[in-house]
Chains A and B, each alone.
Chain A
Amino acid sequence: MSETSHNPSQMTGAAMIVRALIDHGVQHLFGYPGGAVLPIYDEIFQQDAIEHILVRHEQGAGHAAEGYARSTGKPGVVLVTSGPGATNMVTPLTDALMDSIPLVCITGQVPTHLIGNDAFQECDTVGITRPCTKHNWLVRDVNDLAKVLHEAFYVATSGRPGPVVVDVPKDVQFAVGTYHPPRKSDVHISYAPRVKGDATQIRKAVALLASAKRPVIYSGGGVINSGPDAAKLLRELVDVTGFPITSTLMGLGAYPASGKNWLGMLGMHGTFEANMTMHDCDVMLCVGARFDDRITGRTDAFSPGSKKIHIDIDPSSINKNIRVDVPIIGDAGNVLGDLLQVFKAEAKKPDIKAWWQQIATWRARNSLHYKKSNDIIMPQYAIQRLFEATRGKDVYITTEVGQHQMWAAQFFGFEEPHRWMTSGGLGTMGYGLPAAIGVQVAHRDSLVIDVGGDASVQMTIQEMSTAVQHELPIKIFILNNQYMGMVRQWQQLLHGNRLSHSYTEAMPDFVKLAEAYGCVGIRAIKPGDLDGAIKEMISVKRPVLFDCRVAALENCFPMIPSGKAHNEMLLPAEAEDEATAAAFAGGKALV
């Protein structure tokens, strides 16, 4: 015993975990204690290199870590107990897997000799999380722990990023073993993501781009994940080629919304000009996006006349939904760098004046138009005012899921990457509030706003208490339409206006709720009050719940209806029809 205590690499499993986190530069940890992680919590208590953020529900820890990761480019780290602690993490793990967000989640497990016995708070964590992680490990021997932890960080952050779980039984946390710092051999040799794109493919891509008459660049979250260089290179590529650019929900901010080549977001609730450009283009360059079903509409009618170039780090994204002509497997930044170099050396800006003229006619349709009102706050107007009030400020936006999320994407202009955190792939209501906490932890002095919905926000509202405890002045800007607006919209369009359970009968008083949590409640009801109230929200240096009462029955347009193609969008003007009107009359018209 005396011998081991002199050897600094000998330590308990619990100490190794904290040590590994420090070795990987972790400064913040989101977690919730329980029996199976107490030895780790004991180690956390005895150090101050890592700040632990205590949440109110493990799902909150997971989304907070996602917000943290997405706004910093660093992995988010979570610590939860066995059984219910682990199962509560399933939603954020799945969310992170869908949106390629690096998370390292450490779960406690019952002691190894009890595994399989239905012990108290036992669950098959690696079994349950296998399909919702990039990889996971159950560590049965303390001498494997250092290697597994280092590999976990590597797998989470390299290649296509994603969540990983390391399940550590309690006896392994107590056991003493040998720790080693991170080294290359910790990683499976079978795991070797490809970073550099194939030179021949890149040449083919450049030739296509150079000969394009009606090109478009369609970028996604992969550009954000690749790091700030990728966004810079993307901007340079747009400048050098003069091509129009659109982006997925996940990719907003990679190219600035104020940039002159910006078409707005594409897809189901994207702009008319973005979707028409995609539909009619002759060459499409997809960077770090995955042709998901909200983007493509009907796949057999998706951009039928174009040659498609697809840059992606994940080979399984290639030809999954849409056949492409020039696949390039590699990191977005790396490939964009090579592609630019070749383009600059061998090609010149193609003349696409006629194409821009065509695009101008689509733009002129003004697809984001909505009816202004002097009596009630239109949700789109609320986002526009929020954007104006925060323009030029150091601001981060998260969202919940629903109409408000789409309005935020449509009406808030993002100028930089890493400023926009939303649950894209999984569409998780309850994501935005804890995600805002994670963002604020990473950026203490920035303005962090969750654009929320009245229904979504109630899924993780308990995390307001976390914000208060850790003095995180997040702003929850609720577009309160008293409906699950997005559900109602689909019911109006597809289910004969039968608004089955999409109306919230008993809405809490968000201002009183804010006060109960010890934060600040603000309410705006009239358009005239809005600017003042937003100003107040921004100036308050405490967490705020902002109850923005908006037009109850407003719907989100433009829209690609189900089973339709990009060139069959429903525009707001066409949507003001009887179906919608009837729902207005029959529904509970709350303002």
Chain B
Amino acid sequence: MSQPASAYFMEDRHDPSETHTLAVLVQNEPGVLARVIGLFSGRGYNIESLTVSETENQKHLSRITIVTTGTPMVIEQIKHQLDRMVPVYRVVDMTQTGRAIERELAMVKVRGVGEHRVEALRLADAFRARVIDATTESFVFEITGNTAKINQFIDLMRPLGLVEVSRTGVAAIGRGPEGM
């Protein structure tokens, strides 16, 4: 493709994208989440999933788990950009450590009667999803697992009368005795 007339050098980058899960330990103070999210939107990074909660409340520390995609250079940038923020203590690339467990919780509402209803229950059982609400024509299932498992469960529920899904986003932690 020929270069359009521009004061900028335009290049297509074709490096393959990777998905990484980052654990970010931050001071829990006003605006900290806005800073992190603003970094992603401002610099054009992707957020696939974002989970935040205070984890050590006497120290006012929160843990943000972000699933993002990008080329290896972009992923490296994201980590450095996060790390240099004033209220950020640590950034750990859970994917790079190769020793992380990831979990998500989803609540899945399915509506139906007869065969569909029976099939939904049967599949829920196979996925170890629990029934946490039921009416004569609906169920709400609670399911925990990695993202792929939950996606698969939701896909299976779709033809059986899927109404609505609420997901927490990914939480991740390293295996073994060490902390992050």
Q: Which of A225-233, A293-301, A473-481 contacts B (4 or more CB under 8 A)?
A: A293-301
Nearest chain A CB to B138 CB, angstrom units:
39
Task: Identify which of residues 259-304 in chain A touch chain B, using a CB-to-CB cut-off of 8 Å.
Answer: 293, 296-300
Nearest chain A CB to B24 CB, angstrom units:
11
Does A207 have its Cβ within 8 Å of any Cβ on chain B?
no
Q: Cβ of A159: which chain B residues have Cβ within 8 Å of it?
A: 84
A134-B42 in contact (CB<8A): no
B84-A314 in contact (CB<8A): yes
Q: Cβ of A297: which chain B residues have Cβ within 8 Å of it?
A: 9
Cα–Cα distance between A537 and B169 once the two chains are bound (Å): 66
Task: Identify which of residues 355-377 in chain A touch chain B, using a CB-to-CB cut-off of 8 Å.
Answer: none
Does A495 have its Cβ within 8 Å of any Cβ on chain B?
yes
B5-A495 in contact (CB<8A): yes
B35-A316 in contact (CB<8A): no
Q: Which of B26-34, B50-58, B117-125, B140-148 contacts A (4 or more CB under 8 A)?
A: B26-34
Nearest chain A CB to B177 CB, angstrom units:
25
B11 touches which of A126, A127, A300 (Cβ 8 Å): A300
Cα–Cα distance between A316 and B76 once the two chains are bound (Å): 8
B3-A562 in contact (CB<8A): yes
Q: Cβ of A190: which chain B residues have Cβ within 8 Å of it?
A: 26-27, 86-89
Give the number of residue pairs across the A-B interface with Cβ within 8 Å: 69
A190 — nearest CB in chain B belongs to which residue? B89
B80-A318 in contact (CB<8A): yes
Nearest chain B CB to A361 CB, angstrom units:
27
Residue from A130, A155, A190, A562 whose CB has the most chain B CB atoms within 10 Å = A190
Q: Cβ of B35: which chain A residues have Cβ within 8 Å of it?
A: 130
Does B10 have its Cβ within 8 Å of any Cβ on chain A?
yes
Q: Cβ of B166: which chain A residues have Cβ within 8 Å of it?
A: none
A329 — nearest CB in chain B belongs to which residue? B80
Contact indicator per residue, chain A 490-501, by CB within 8 Å of chain B (1) or not (0): 100011000000
Cα–Cα distance between A73 and B86 once the two chains are bound (Å): 22
B89-A299 in contact (CB<8A): no
Nearest chain B CB to A565 CB, angstrom units:
10
B81 — nearest CB in chain A belongs to which residue? A316
Does B73 have its Cβ within 8 Å of any Cβ on chain A?
yes
If A131-B42, A316-B81, A323-B73 touch, whether A562 touches B31 (CB-CB below 8 Å) is no
Does A188 have its Cβ within 8 Å of any Cβ on chain B?
yes
A131 touches which of B3, B26, B38 (Cβ 8 Å): B38
Nearest chain B CB to A557 CB, angstrom units:
16
B6-A494 in contact (CB<8A): yes
Task: Identify which of residues 39-95 in chain B touch chain A, using a CB-to-CB cut-off of 8 Å.
Answer: 42, 73, 76-77, 80-81, 83-89
B7-A319 in contact (CB<8A): no
Does A563 have its Cβ within 8 Å of any Cβ on chain B?
yes
Q: Cβ of A316: which chain B residues have Cβ within 8 Å of it?
A: 77, 80-81, 83-84
Cα–Cα distance between A319 and B3 once the two chains are bound (Å): 25
Count of interface residues, chain B, beta-carbon cutoff 8 Å: 28
Task: Identify which of residues 563-584 in chain A touch chain B, using a CB-to-CB cut-off of 8 Å.
Answer: 563
B7-A490 in contact (CB<8A): yes
A494 touches which of B5, B34, B87 (Cβ 8 Å): B5
A130 — nearest CB in chain B belongs to which residue? B38
Cα–Cα distance between A335 and B11 once the two chains are bound (Å): 34
Cα–Cα distance between A298 and B89 once the two chains are bound (Å): 36
A154 — nearest CB in chain B belongs to which residue? B86
Cα–Cα distance between A318 and B73 once the two chains are bound (Å): 10
A564 — nearest CB in chain B belongs to which residue? B9
Q: Cβ of B8: which chain A residues have Cβ within 8 Å of it?
A: 293, 562
Contact indicator per residue, chain A 116-142, by CB within 8 Å of chain B (1) or not (0): 000000000011001100110010000
Q: Cβ of B3: which chain A residues have Cβ within 8 Å of it?
A: 562-563
A562-B6 in contact (CB<8A): yes
A315-B27 in contact (CB<8A): no
Nearest chain B CB to A583 CB, angstrom units:
15
Nearest chain A CB to B118 CB, angstrom units:
52
Q: Cβ of B38: which chain A residues have Cβ within 8 Å of it?
A: 130-131
Task: Identify which of residues 151-166 in chain A touch chain B, using a CB-to-CB cut-off of 8 Å.
Answer: 155, 159-160
A319-B86 in contact (CB<8A): no
Q: Cβ of A563: which chain B residues have Cβ within 8 Å of it?
A: 3, 9-10
Cα–Cα distance between A490 and B87 once the two chains are bound (Å): 42
Cα–Cα distance between A495 and B9 once the two chains are bound (Å): 16
- Can you list 26 pairs linking A and B with CB atoms under 8 Å apart? A130-B34, A130-B35, A131-B38, A159-B84, A188-B86, A188-B87, A190-B89, A293-B8, A293-B9, A296-B9, A298-B9, A314-B80, A314-B84, A315-B83, A316-B81, A316-B83, A319-B73, A319-B76, A320-B73, A490-B7, A494-B6, A494-B7, A495-B5, A562-B3, A562-B5, A563-B10
Q: Which 3 A-B pairs rank lowest in CB-CB distance, beginning with the nearest?
A: A494-B5, A316-B80, A563-B3
Mark A residues whose CB is within 8 Å of B.
126-127, 130-131, 134-135, 138, 155, 159-160, 188-191, 293, 296-300, 314-316, 318-320, 323, 490, 494-495, 562-563
Q: With contacts A298-B9, A494-B6 known, what are 5 further pairs, Cβ within 8 A?
A: A130-B31, A155-B86, A190-B87, A299-B11, A320-B77
